[in-house]
Chain A
Amino acid sequence: MDSPGTISGIVFIVVLIFPGVIFKRFYYKGSFKKQFGAGPFADRILTSIFWGFVVQLLSFVGFSIAFNFHYNDINVKIRGLYKQIVDNQIPLLTFHDLAYILTYIFVCLTVAAFFGFIAHEFIRLFKLDVKSGIFKFSNEWHYYFTGEILLTKEFRHLKKGKVFATAVDVLIDNGSDRNKMMSGILSQYTLSSHTGELESIYLTASRKYSDIDKGFKSVPGSLIIIPYNKVVDMNLTYLFEEKPLVNKITVYRNSVMLISLFVTLAIIILPWFSTVSFGNKTLSVLFFSLGWLFAYVSLLQPYQDEKQKLSWRAILLLIALSLLFFFLAFYKLRLIFK
């Protein structure tokens, strides 16, 4: 190697930047995925380093608990490896060492992906991005087009409800003296991959204003695509469905989801504190996950739509499968039948 700087650079990228990038990839998803690659390069690197550091901290703590080692145990080994690389020697790694390193890298990336995903879901479930500017995503159009903007304090005075669809009236610059007016139901929109700005809007069931008929006429076709750079004005009308925003179904579902979030975290983290082997810990996490998945599906049944409701036999089967996997998980952790 030419210099310790090269090695440090590679280590920096692998240890800090890459896990941070993975975290952000899973955090910026869905309507907000364009934010992943947006912004100044320096800003993106800094945020990747920050999240990479958080991921490394969590991974190291978890890994050391799972494998019962401390930093001082590996400190000497890391220094030895580093010295060998700087002295242009092939590092002396046993198969055991290599397995630990590769497993640690895998754990890091899995932790990064998992926490990025959970962070996004948590923020969106509780609408923290709408209620607080700190968590707000940069794709403002999502909030306007879905009606979520009505939950912000600036629009509190406007009517609210469950948004059924968004009707759009647009004034289009068609290059002539008279602009063209069109309306329809918004079905989709696209953003520029470079700037994140609105690129096109897609209207279904669209109609065009006719000067001759002095009214709107249907436009044949399934979908009309309007480039945003041709739009002079845009008027959004939210069509609400008369349904209480918060009712017992919503409260029940959100409660089950919230409990599920905490149970999932407990399932994934707590088994690693036990004293059984790594294989048994991994299997117990898998069994707990399956057990909770079946339990979660059965918990959703009371307020499920008629079409998706399961029969009593199916619910009993879900409960039985859930109990079976929980039993297996406890058995693997040696908490029963020691």
Chain B
Amino acid sequence: MGTIKAVFNAVGNVLGTFFSSDSDVMSEEAKRILSNEEDRKIFFEAIDKMKNSDSHKETLILSNKEKITLFS
């Protein structure tokens, strides 16, 4: 039963991408980070560092230990 449910969820997700809007101005990863309080704080600290430094590049280590490198 779990297999059948997983298959239909996968099909539903794919069909969802066919009809999804391309109007988002924020990436999915950004939305995910901003929805987590801890990651949000890390993200804004990184933006401040990027603005105030010459490198304009920062690596974020998120609450789930995932690393994302941003540059501007």
A164 contacts B6, C-beta separation under 8 Å: no
B14 contacts A310, C-beta separation under 8 Å: no
Q: Does A162 sit at the interface, judged by CB under 8 A?
A: yes
Of A205, A308, A313, which one neighbours B10 at CB under 8 angstroms? A308
Q: Does A318 sit at the interface, judged by CB under 8 A?
A: yes
- SS class of chain B's interface: helix, strand, loop or mixed? helix
Q: Does B61 sit at the interface, judged by CB under 8 A?
A: no
**Which residues on B sit within 8 Å (CB–CB) of A187?**
25-26
B72 contacts A310, C-beta separation under 8 Å: no
Q: Does A146 sit at the interface, judged by CB under 8 A?
A: yes
Nearest residue (CB) in A for B50 is A239
B22 contacts A124, C-beta separation under 8 Å: yes
User: Chain A, interface size: which category?
Assistant: 35 or more
Enumerate B33-65 residues with CB–CB distance to A below 8 Å. 34, 40, 44, 47, 50, 57
| A296 and B22 in contact, given A205-B34, A205-B40, A240-B71 (Cβ under 8 angstroms) | no
Of B24, B29, B47, which one neighbours A167 at CB under 8 angstroms? B47
- SS class of chain A's interface: helix, strand, loop or mixed? mixed
**Which residues on A sit within 8 Å (CB–CB) of B27?**
162-165, 241
Bound-complex Cα distance A31 to B24 (A): 8
B26 contacts A165, C-beta separation under 8 Å: yes
Of B29, B34, B71, which one neighbours A204 at CB under 8 angstroms? B34
| A30 and B72 in contact, given A164-B30, A300-B14 (Cβ under 8 angstroms) | no
Q: How many residues does chain B have at the interface if contact means C-beta atoms less than 8 Å apart?
A: 29
Query: A278-318 interface mask toward B, CB cutoff 8 Å, 1 = contact, 0 = none?
Result: 00000000000000011011001000000010110110011
**Which residues on A sit within 8 Å (CB–CB) of B70?**
164, 239-242
Bound-complex Cα distance A321 to B57 (A): 48
Of B10, B22, B23, which one neighbours A297 at CB under 8 angstroms? B10
Besides the known contacts A240-B70, A242-B70, 20 further A-B residue pairs in the complex with CB atoms under 8 A apart = A30-B22, A31-B21, A31-B23, A146-B24, A164-B68, A167-B72, A185-B34, A204-B34, A239-B50, A239-B70, A239-B71, A241-B29, A242-B57, A242-B71, A293-B14, A297-B11, A308-B13, A310-B7, A311-B6, A314-B7
